[in-house]
Amino acid sequence: MIPPALSVMSNASLPSPTPPLRCPRHARQREGQMPSAAHRLALGDLHREPFRLFFPAATLAGFVGVGLWVPLLLGWTVDYPGTAHARLMVQGFFGGFIFGFLGTSLPKLLEVPPLTAREVFPLLALFAVKVVAHAAGATCWGDAAFLGELVLWFAVLKGRCRTKRDMPPPSFVLVGLSFAAAAVGTGLHLAARGWELPPELELLARLLSYHAFVLLCVLGAGGFLLPRFLGLGLRRRFAPPSP
């Protein structure tokens, strides 16, 4: 029979059992195969996932766009902020979520390196200039910053497509069309500052820059995401015709 003191000492010398892992993700983290949350959220790595920068910026732009109505409702001003509100909600709120999603998802879909800091932070600076300009009523400067942002995003994403290892989803063609629609519509808005455009062109500018930009991006991304949310896979397979 082992004395109680020796039993306690022998139990103390034994290594403590490893707690069971609750899920495979925890197992990969312990084995060093997956970076921890602290590493993934490091300030120096935010540009690798642009949605971490553009989603909060888009939310802030949305609050600014809604807040433009407060001085009018309180009687502090008589200026109608309809144009600035529309620009902030489309170019700032929706645009920020669109740019953040594309900048994060497209490199992963194409299996190419993520965006670099030299690419992301100039885009974020243009986004900030655009929001501040529209909030201050400088619509022309805001539209110019948005047009430059579209061109820079197109150049960045096009450079990633050249080194792609995989093809993007077919529905992403609509994303390119949305960028083109926004560029043409914004160009017409800028042209209206110097020339008097026919009412038909002014209506076309609003349709392209407000509606086509957002809806085409939603359709392009939705055609890729919805089948996965519904468990349909990459493409739908139809049963062969019966003989």
Distances in whole angstroms, Cα of residue 16 to Cα of each of 19, 28, 30: 9, 21, 17
pLDDT digits (tens, 9 = 90+) for 142-153: 999 999 999 999
Q: Where are the domains of the chain?
A: 45-229
Q: Rounded to whole angstroms, how far apart are CA atoms 161 and 140?
A: 32
Angle 96-135-78 (CA atoms, 0-180°, nearest 5)? 140
Q: Specify the range with the lowest mean pLDDT, choosing from 46-50, 176-180, 204-208, 215-219.
A: 46-50
pLDDT digits (tens, 9 = 90+) for 11-24: 545 555 544 444 44
- pLDDT at residue 242 in the model: 53
- pLDDT at residue 53 in the model: 93
Residue 169 amino acid letter: P
Angle 13-16-22 (CA atoms, 0-180°, nearest 5)? 175
